[in-house]
């Protein structure tokens, strides 16, 4: 499933910009079938909250692509 890269990309994009309808559809169809991407969504939500709570501190852009 090469879809996960696309989905996780969209999930992180969603924090910065509104997604298109088709992009949301892809996410909503994929998440119920993939615990990995559900976990990813949880994580970036937490990261977002953390980033907001320490506003002013730049967060390193570590996209950990270690497959």
Site for Zn ion contains 31 (CB under 5 A): no
Site for Zn ion contains 4 (CB under 5 A): yes
> In the structure encoding, which two tokens stand for residue 33, read together?
């079938």
Window of 19-27, 37-45, 47-55, 57-65 that interacts with Zn ion by CB under 5 A: 37-45
Window of 12-20, 28-36, 45-53, 55-63 that interacts with Zn ion by CB under 5 A: 28-36
CB neighbour list of residue 11: distance below 8 Å, 6 or more residues apart: 27, 37, 40, 41, 44
From the list 14, 26, 34, 44, which residue makes contact with Zn ion (rule: CB under 5 A)? 34
CB neighbour list of residue 4: distance below 8 Å, 6 or more residues apart: 30, 34, 36, 37
User: What size, in residues, is the chain?
Assistant: 67
- Positions in the binding site for Zn ion (CB under 5 A): 4, 34, 36-37
């Amino acid at each position: 499933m090469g879809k996960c890269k696309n989905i996780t990309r969209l999930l992180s994009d969603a924090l910065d910009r509104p997604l298109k309808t088709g992009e949301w559809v892809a996410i909503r169809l994929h998440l119920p079938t993939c615990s990995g991407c559900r976990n990813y969504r949880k994580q970036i939500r937490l990261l977002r909250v953390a980033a907001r709570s320490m506003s002013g501190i730049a967060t390193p852009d570590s996209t950990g692509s270690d497959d």
